[in-house]
Amino acid sequence: MKRIIFGLILVISFSQCATETKNTIISGTVQGLKKGQLLIQELNDTVLVTLDSIAVQGNADFKFSVDLQEPEVLYLALIFQDSVTPNKYIPFFAERGAVNIQTDLENFELDYAVSGSQNQTVWNEYRQLMRRYNEKKLDYIKEELSAMQSGNTSETENWRTQQQKLMTSRYLATVNFAKNHRDMAIAPYLMLLEIPDVNVKYHDTIYKLLSPEIKNSKYGNALESFILEQN
């Protein structure tokens, strides 16, 4: 009888663990994907660590369950079982709740949409802002090359100066963007990812403006460590 009761306890315990739900569901579709492996990974120091994975066999839909302590950037990785096709990665800001990712096999890393994350929405806004700076930079480079080809030294220097001014403007735009979103995890993340080479006083300014919750977050702590290392 004791053995039976003990066995029932084990079954109940196992059933509870098996049905335990995690706080974040990441689902979506990779249109055109027939075979491969999808993984959800996080960056731990400099190493990608797998949190969950599935093998794709004809079904392009996927669903992962992970536990998040706070909003952070994760990676949806697409791995093929051969030594020829390179691995592909989509970085996205995950948050507790339901996050959905839609992409396709051909443009996996380029044409994707993420919903269900406020930090991701703000990150998309930042990327749109930076796209305008990148387009203007390309225009300036074309003008510089044209001036060089025509042998116009003064115009060449002028366009190089314009590029330097544009870079400074881009840096300041990032600082201002982080300032306007200082109550979100995206703020310290952008300071670390996008402008690590800017004068550390800007990092310090943003860090001091962060809400207490964000200061104590993964990226808030990383920003504080970065500032201390530079001083």
> Quick check: 117 and 92 in contact, CB under 8 A?
yes
- Residues written for the chain: 231
Radius of gyration for the alpha carbons in the chain, expressed in angstroms and rounded: 23
Residues of the chain scoring pLDDT < 50:
1-19
What single DSSP character describes residue 216?
A: T
Residue-wise pLDDT for 38-48, tens only, equals 999 999 888 99
Query: Residue 194 carries which side chain, given as an amino acid letter?
Result: E
Q: In what order do the strands lie in the sheet with 24-31?
A: 61-66, 24-31, 97-104, 113-115
> Quick check: 177 and 126 in contact, CB under 8 A?
yes
State the pLDDT at residue 46.
87
> Alpha-carbon distance 66 to 94, whole Å?
10
> Quick check: 104 and 32 in contact, CB under 8 A?
yes
> Quick check: 183 and 153 in contact, CB under 8 A?
no
Residue-wise pLDDT for 165-215, tens only, equals 999 999 999 999 999 999 999 999 999 999 999 999 999 999 999 999 999
